[in-house]
Each structure stands twice: as C-alpha cells, then as structure tokens.
C-alpha cells in the first residue's frame, strides 16, 4: 500500500516548531543546577516527538541530530548527567539548529551541513562520546542475513502460563510462521490440569514445530520476539543437502539485495531538492467556530429565501414584513461578519514569545542585566497585523535594550536597581489594540535629539518645539543619535521604518519619555485591516470617508473664532487650541458648496499628535466600510489611504489624515514662500 506521507508533513512541521518553542521557553527558565523533573520531561518529550516524527516521515538528518540531543536529555532526566550553563546554551543552539533544519526540510532548501555537524559533535562531547562521522548502522544487519543454509528448523515452544495476560496468542505466532514456512506441529498437553482446576486465562499447552523453510534463524526468532521473556524457546537447524549451485545463486541474491539497500540509502542522502520557499499561510481554527459559522450561513440562507419570496408575492401592505426581513438580514450579516473576523484573530503571545530568548541573548551580548516582563499576552489581534508588527516590535525592544537600559554600573550609580526592566503590555482600547514597550532606562536625551535634528536640518535654529515634538523627532528619516551606530539596533534607518510600517497598517506610534527614568513606546493598531469605521463627509459633489478613530469632534464654525495667519493659513480657535483649517476643496482641487467658513462644518482630526480641522460641506452617515486598495490597479495617492464601495455601488475615497496634514504643510510652505515673494516684490 503506498500512502502519500507528504499530506502529514504540514502538521508535523507545525507541531515540531511548536515543540521547539516549548523547548526554548523551558530552557530559558531552567535552573541548570537543579532542573525540575517536569520541565526536563517537557523538553525531552518535545525532542522525542520531533525525532519520532522526522523518522517516520523520512527526514533522516533531523532524526540523527535529534537522537543525540534526545540522548543527552534522557541522561539529564535520569539524573545521570549534571547540566552546566554552557550546556544549556549548547541546547539552545541545538534548538536553533533544529529550527533551521526543519525550515530547510519544509522549504526544500539546503541545510548547513557543516554547522549541523559541528553542533552535533558538541552534543556528543557533552555526552562524553568522541565526535564521529555518521555510522552506517544498517550494514551490520546485512551481513547477518546470509545464514540460511539449512532446509528448516526444529522449534520447541513452551509458553509460560501467563502468556495470555499480555494479550499474546500462540496461534498468531504460528500464523506468522506459516507466511514463510511449511509447518507441522505436535502439541503437548502434559501440563493440562484436571478440569476443575482449569483456569481459562492460563496457557498449559506447548508445541513442537517443524518448519520447512530457507529463512535464517533470526527471521524465525523475530516471530517470537515479543514473548521472549514469557516462554522457553529452542530452535535447532535441520540439516539438508544443498547443491553448490543453489548455494552460489543464493549468495549472489543476497549480495545483490545488500547492494540495493546501500544504493537506496545513498540515493536518499543525495536527494536534496532546492526550490522556492513554499510558505503556505494557514491558521488553526477551533471546529466550534466553524460550526457556529455554518449555522450563521444557514440562517442567512433562510432570511434570503424569505426575502426572495416577498419579492415574488409583492404586496405593498406587507411592507412591514419586508422591513423585518431586512432587519434580520442586517443581523445575520453582522453576526457572520463578526465571527469571520474573529477567526483571523490570534493572541499576541505568538508575537511576544520570541522576546524572552531575544532579551536573554542580547543582554548577555551587551553585558547588561535585563528582566523582561510580559502582560496581556492573550490580547487578540488579526493574524496578518501580528505578522507585520513583529519586526517593528523587535526593533523597538532592541532599541530599549541597546540605548535605553544603562550598564549595571551606571544604574547603580544612578540609584537604580542593577537589573533593568523591559515591560511589554498589550490591551484593547476603543476598537484598537495597544502595545506598550516600557523600559526603566535612561530615557530620551532631548538636548542631544534637538541638536542632532538641527544639525541634520530637520529642525531650524530657534524653532520652539514642545517636549512631545522633540521626542517625536527620533522617528524622522536618517536620524540616529547613537555615537557609534551599534550593529544591534542598526543604523538610523530604524525608527522611521518602524513608524512607516506601523503607519502602513493603519496604526500609529508615539513615545513618552522622562530623562533618567525611562521611556514608553506606544503602538496603536486597528484590530483588522479589512474594515474601517468611517464618517462619510461631503465636499461639493464628492463623498469621502474619514476614519472615525481620527476624529476628535465636528462643529459648526463661528467666524469670530477664525483667524488668518501670514496670508493664507487659517486657524480656528477652539478652547485653548488653534486648529489649522484644511480646505479639502483646495487640497483636492474640487468644487464645494461655499468657500465661506460659516457655511460649512469643521471636522477636527488628529494624527501623530497633530490636530487639523477639515473644512467640509456636510456630514453624512457613519458606517463600517470595507477597505479596498487603490494601489492594486493604480498607485498610491497622497491624502488617500484606500477606497470603498458605498451602498449605491459607487466608489468613495478614504482619507489618510497623516498624509493630508503633510499635503497641507507643503501647500502652506508653497503659499508662504509665494506670499513672501509677492510681499518682497
């Protein structure tokens, strides 16, 4: 029977990677002087599973490597081996090695043989073995196969009385023998007790078997392998006359068979296919969730047929029924939508899990003492958002490790505990997921940031900036105040790429810091990439969508509160703030109902700590919209983050507040300079 084993590979890889994570987590928390029994068992079992699976599915290099690893772990859990700190690090390196091997196997790429062999040798050394090249264990078996020269075997088989209690049955063994031999049996009932003492669960019989076969003794013994300790077994050869010819031909057959075995083994080793990595994106879903979805779709179908029926038997008096049906449709659709979105949600722990190892390795490298705290790991977010936030998170944590937390001596001198703390926290807030990365390090040095910014021309001399604005400068392109750009957190391209990646996800990042005390980086992300809560607005004949999350308030303007600055820039005085007014009709070059500020409305929006008021003609409905990409068939448009299809089938643009603010500034600069020019003229 040939079964396609590759169908199980996906699950094997998934569970193996999970197993490696368990190993890593446990190893990081392990007290090598006194490892807990359950912890060591967990690590052992994970390695054991990987070994078993890789063996069954034919990934032999992985099997061999894991075997050595498993042996070491077995000795530790049996109390035969005392772990050292270096050995724990070696085990962690082995986990990395296995990860690479599994990835290579999954993506069908090359493995780094040298590295694998060297790590394996280290493991062997730890076991007290001499490092050696892979042995050809299978060879030893081959040579023993050539022992059949007789024509049969005489077997005396006396099972112990309790043989049935292990579920064994002599009959089955005889059936097995029949597969390759002709048997004649002679039963021995000497040990049968009198009827009234007969215990049905005991075996009192024994047999003399005569086998006519040309297989060797090992083959025969194999049949009785399971019951070796539960019987008395004697096997004697029956001599026969064989012509030399038959002996020779048998020898030739055996040699050919051995060669075949060796060749297939070699073929397996050279069989390495290199291809593009096939990272199929999949997600594990609880079957309950799927069943719930199926039910909801069922209800949707019922509602649909009910509405369809109404369409056929149209009766204006039944308009109530129609409305009811439509309400139900809305309910069904909303429920379905919520539940489908839920399926893509995964806890952020998947992303947080890489940090214990990262902090452990990096703090060693930097000779700093750092403790990592994680909270809110069960906070859920969209799978794709989580995948994309991974790198930015790593960069921010590395940044805290590298530039935030001080050296132990400096910390003590500053009256702080020697061990610095980095705290990652995730929680839901107002339809978003918020991730805080907090450290109790040195905080941002505002003076240095400001001077660097002036040096780079990002900020002009004498310009007054709030503390918030100074801190936000670190996200500017080409900015890095590290005297020596360390290769830990990279060059100045880091922070601005982080900001851009987060921005691309529809999120925002900001930093709060206190010199000497520490910093908090806060990332805000939408819970999903596909849908947006939006406010529809109208400017002239155009309808736009403003993301609800960026709207602070909307109001009707009073002309006394509007002021004009330096020519064209208009601001609105709202309580203590001056909000710059952005005329959408001007930025977008479209018609509007009226250019008089009194006639329209001001929608005050905020992005990245800056507020701006959008001047619009009308506020329309608030609704959830599906985000459609403009870039798929066109390209990125300034001021617009995407598009959506409204209920009437027409397309509406979704505004990108941050981009609008940039556009506005560009135009303000343009106007200012032209104003200055005309003034000068």
Partner 1 sequence: MATILAVDDSASMRQMVSFTLKGAGYDVIEAVDGVDALNKAKGSSPDAVLTDVNMPNMDGITLITELRKLPNYKHTPMLMLTTESSGDMKGKGKSAGATGWLVKPFNPDKLLATIKKVVA
Partner 2 sequence: MNPEVREESVIGLEAGEDTNQFLTFMLAGEEYGVDILRVQEIKGWESSTEIPNTPGYIQGVMNLRGTIVPIVDLRSRFELEQVEYSNTTVVIVLKTISSGDEKTIGFVVDAVSDVYNVTDEQLKPSPDFGSAVSTEFVRGLATVDEKMLILLDIDHLMDADIDINQSEMTH
Residues near partner 1, by CB under 8 A: 1, 3, 5, 7-9, 11-12, 15, 41-42, 44-45, 48-49, 51-57, 63, 67, 71, 164-168, 172, 176, 201, 225-227, 229-230
Helix residue ranges per DSSP H, 571-656:
584-587
Q: Which does 590 bind (CB under 5 to 8 A by kind): partner 2, partner 1, none?
A: partner 2
Please, what is the minimum distance in Å from the beta carbon of residue 226 to partner 1?
3
Binding-site size for partner 2 (CB under 8 A) equals 25
Residue 49 binds which entry of partner 2, partner 1, none, CB below 5-8 Å type-dependent: partner 1
Task: Tell me the per-residue interface mask from 602 to 641 with partner 2, x by CB under 8 A, - otherwise.
Answer: --------------------------xxx-xxxx-xxxx-
Q: Helix-strand-coil percent breakdown of the chain, rounded to 5?
A: 50, 20, 30
> If we measure between CA atoms, which residue out of 216, 80, 209, 77 comes closest to residue 142?
216
Is residue 395 annotated as part of the catalytic site, yes or no?
no
Tell the smallest beta-carbon distance from residue 582 to partner 2 (Å). 13
Q: How far is the CB of 161 from partner 1 (least distance, A)?
A: 14
Count of beta carbons in the 10 Å neighbourhood of residue 579: 22
Residue 172 binds which of partner 1, partner 2, none (CB < 5-8 A, kind-dependent):
partner 1
Q: How far is CA 85 from the centre of its chain?
A: 29
Does position 597 interact with partner 2 (CB under 8 A)? The reply is no
Q: Residues 562, 597: contact at Cβ < 8 Å?
A: yes
Which parts of 414-475 are beta strand (E)? 420-429, 432-439
Q: In sequence order, what DSSP letters do the residues of 127-169 get, joined into one string? A: HTPPP-PPP-THHHHHHHTT---SSEEEEEEEE-GGGGGGT--
* Complex with partner 2: residue 439 or 656, whichever CB lies closer: 656
Within 8 A by CB and 6+ apart from 378, the residues are 347, 348, 349
Residue from 251, 493, 590, 676 touching partner 2 (CB under 8 A): that is 590
DSSP state letter for 483: S
Q: At what angle do helices 85-107 and 6-29 cross, to 10 degrees?
A: 160
Nearest to partner 2 of 340, 488 (CB atom): 340
Does 589 participate in binding partner 2 (rule CB under 8 A)? yes
Cβ-based nearer residue to partner 2, 329 or 630: 630
Residue 198, phi then psi, degrees to nearest 5: -75, 120
Determine whether 585 is an active site residue. Answer: no
Q: Quick check: 678 binds partner 2 (CB under 8 A)? A: no
Out of 138, 251, 414, 651, point to the residue binding partner 2 (CB under 8 A). 651
How many CB atoms within 10 Å of residue 513? 24
If contact means CB under 5 to 8 A according to the sort of partner, which of partner 2, partner 1, none does residue 653 touch? partner 2
Q: Which is nearer to partner 2, 111 or 643 (CB)?
A: 643
What is the β-pairing status of strands 420-429 and 370-375?
Answer: parallel
The long-range contacts involving 245-249, CB below 8 angstroms and separated by at least 24 positions, are 247/149
β-bridge pairing 152-159 and 542-547: unpaired
CB distance 546 to 657 below 8 Å: yes
Shortest separation between residue 633's beta carbon and partner 2, angstroms: 5
Q: Is residue 673 near partner 2 by the rule CB under 8 A?
A: no
For the CB of residue 605, give the shortest distance to partner 2 in the complex, in Å: 17
What's the token pair of residue 509?
Answer: 């990042």
**By the 8 A CB rule, do 524 and 381 touch?**
no
Does position 650 interact with partner 2 (CB under 8 A)? The reply is yes
Q: Which one from 24, 26, 61, 70 is the annotated catalytic residue?
A: 70
For position 649 contacting partner 2 by CB under 8 A, the verdict is yes
Query: Exactly one of 385, 653, 657, 661 binds partner 2 (CB under 8 A); which one?
Result: 653
* Rg, the chain, Cα only: 38
Q: Decide if 399 is catalytic.
A: yes
Q: Structure tokens of 42?
A: 């967990």
DSSP-derived secondary structure letter, 628: B
d(CA 440, CA 484): 22
Nearer to partner 1, 211 or 655 (CB): 211
Shortest reach from residue 281's CB to partner 2, in Å: 20
* 227 vs 424, beta carbon nearer partner 1: 227
Q: Return d(Cα 475, Cα 495) in angstroms, integer.
A: 5
Q: Which of 138, 285, 301, 645 binds partner 2 (CB under 8 A)?
A: 645
* Whole-number Å distance between alpha carbons of 475 and 501: 12
Report what 71 binds from partner 1, partner 2, none; CB cut-off 5-8 Å by kind.
partner 1
Q: Is 588 in the site for partner 2 (CB under 8 A)?
A: yes
Residue 56 interacts with which of partner 1, partner 2, none, CB < 5 to 8 Å by class = partner 1
Question: What mask of x and - would describe binding to partner 2 in positions 530 to 569, judged by CB under 8 A?
Answer: ------------x---------------------------
CB burial readout 226-252, b (16+ within 10 A) else e: ebeebbebeeeeeeeeeeeeeeeeeee
- Which of partner 1, partner 2, none sits in contact with 165, Cβ below 5 to 8 A by type? partner 1
CA gap 404, 422 in Å, rounded: 9
Q: Specify the residue, 21 or 568, whose C-beta has the smaller distance to partner 2.
A: 568
**669 makes contact with partner 2 (CB under 8 A):** no
Residues 647, 110: Cα–Cα separation, whole Å: 52
CA dihedral 601, 642, 501, 387 (to 10 degrees): 120
Under a CB-based contact definition with an 8 Å cutoff, are residues 411 and 459 in contact? no
Out of partner 2, partner 1, none, which partner does residue 57 contact, by CB within 5 to 8 A per kind?
partner 1
Nearer to partner 1, 67 or 221 (CB): 67
Comparison of 177 and 532: residue with beta carbon closer to partner 2: 532
For the bound state, the minimum distance from the C-beta of residue 53 to partner 2, rounded and expressed in Å, comes to 39
Q: How far is the CB of 126 from partner 1 (least distance, A)?
A: 17
**DSSP for residue 256:** H
> Considering the complex, what minimum distance in angstroms separates the CB of residue 12 from partner 1?
4
Can residue 643 be called a binding residue for partner 2 (CB under 8 A)?
yes
Active site residues: 48, 70, 399
List interacting residues with partner 2 (CB under 8 A): 542, 587-590, 628-630, 632-635, 637-640, 643, 645, 649-653, 667, 670
């Amino acid at each position: 029977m040939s079964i396609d084993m590759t169908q199980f590979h996906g699950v094997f890889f998934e569970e193996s990677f999970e197993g490696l994570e368990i190993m890593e987590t446990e190893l990081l928390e392990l007290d090598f002087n006194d490892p807990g029994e359950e912890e060591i068992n967990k690590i052992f079992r994970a390695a054991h599973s990987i070994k078993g699976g890789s063996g069954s599915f034919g990934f032999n290099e992985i099997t061999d490597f894991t075997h050595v690893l498993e042996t070491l772990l077995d000795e530790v859990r049996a109390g035969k081996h005392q772990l050292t700190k270096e050995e724990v690090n070696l085990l962690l390196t082995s986990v990395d090695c296995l990860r690479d091997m599994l990835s290579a196997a999954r993506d069908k790429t090359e493995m780094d043989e040298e590295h694998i062999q060297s790590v394996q040798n280290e493991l062997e050394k730890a076991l007290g073995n001499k490092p050696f090249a892979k042995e050809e264990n299978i060879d030893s078996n081959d040579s023993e196969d050539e022992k059949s020269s007789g024509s049969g075997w005489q077997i005396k088989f006396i099972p112990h009385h309790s043989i049935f209690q292990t579920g064994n049955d002599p009959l089955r063994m005889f059936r097995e023998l029949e597969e390759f031999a002709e048997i004649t049996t002679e039963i021995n009932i000497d040990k049968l007790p009198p009827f009234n003492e007969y215990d049905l669960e005991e075996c009192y019989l024994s047999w003399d078997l005569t086998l006519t076969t040309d297989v060797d003794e090992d083959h025969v013994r194999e049949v009785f392998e399971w019951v070796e300790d539960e019987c008395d077994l004697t096997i004697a050869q029956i001599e026969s006359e064989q012509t030399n010819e038959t002996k020779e031909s048998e020898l030739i057959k055996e040699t050919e068979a051995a060669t075949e075995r060796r060749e297939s083994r070699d073929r397996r080793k050279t069989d390495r296919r290199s291809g593009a990595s096939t990272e199929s994106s999949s997600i594990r879903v609880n079957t309950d969730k799927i069943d719930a979805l199926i039910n909801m779709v069922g209800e949707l179908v019922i509602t649909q047929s009910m509405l369809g029926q109404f369409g056929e038997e149209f009766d204006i008096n039944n308009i109530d029924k129609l409305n009811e049906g439509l309400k139900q449709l809305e309910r069904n659709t909303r429920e379905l939508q919520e539940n489908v979105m839920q399926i893509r949600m995964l806890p952020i722990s998947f992303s947080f899990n890489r940090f214990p190892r990262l902090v452990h390795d990096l703090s060693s490298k930097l000779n700093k003492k750092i403790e990592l705290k994680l909270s809110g790991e069960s906070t859920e977010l969209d799978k794709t958002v989580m995948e994309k936030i991974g790198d930015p998170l790593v960069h921010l944590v590395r940044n805290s490790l590298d530039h935030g937390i001080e050296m132990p001596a400096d910390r003590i001198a500053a009256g702080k505990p020697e061990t610095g703390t980095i705290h990652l926290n995730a929680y839901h807030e107002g339809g978003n997921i918020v991730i805080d990365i907090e450290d109790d390090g040195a905080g941002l040095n505002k003076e240095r940031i400001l001077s660097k910014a002036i040096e780079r021309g990002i900020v002009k001399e004498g310009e007054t900036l709030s503390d918030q604005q100074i801190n936000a400068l670190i996200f500017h392109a080409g900015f890095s105040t590290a005297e020596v750009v360390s290769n830990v957190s990279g060059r100045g391209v880091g922070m601005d790429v982080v900001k851009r990646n987060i921005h691309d996800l529809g999120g925002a990042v900001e930093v709060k810091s206190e010199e000497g005390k520490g910093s908090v980086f806060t990332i805000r992300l939408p819970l999903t990439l596909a849908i947006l809560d939006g406010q529809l607005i109208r400017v002239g004949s155009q309808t736009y969508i403003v993301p609800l999350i960026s709207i602070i308030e909307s109001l009707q303007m009073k002309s006394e509160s509007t002021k004009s600055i330096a020519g064209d820039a208009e601001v609105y005085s709202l309580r203590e703030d001056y909000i710059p007014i952005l005329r959408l009709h001007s930025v977008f070059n479209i018609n509007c109902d009226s250019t008089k500020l009194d006639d329209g409305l001001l929608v005050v929006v905020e992005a990245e700590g800056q507020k701006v008021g959008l001047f619009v003609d009308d506020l329309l409905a608030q609704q959830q919209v599906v985000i459609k990409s403009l870039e798929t068939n066109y390209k990125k448009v300034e001021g617009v983050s995407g598009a959506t299809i409204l209920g009437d089938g027409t397309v509406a643009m979704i505004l990108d507040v941050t981009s609008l603010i940039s556009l506005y500034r560009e135009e303000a600069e343009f106007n200012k300079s032209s104003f200055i020019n005309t003034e000068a003229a």
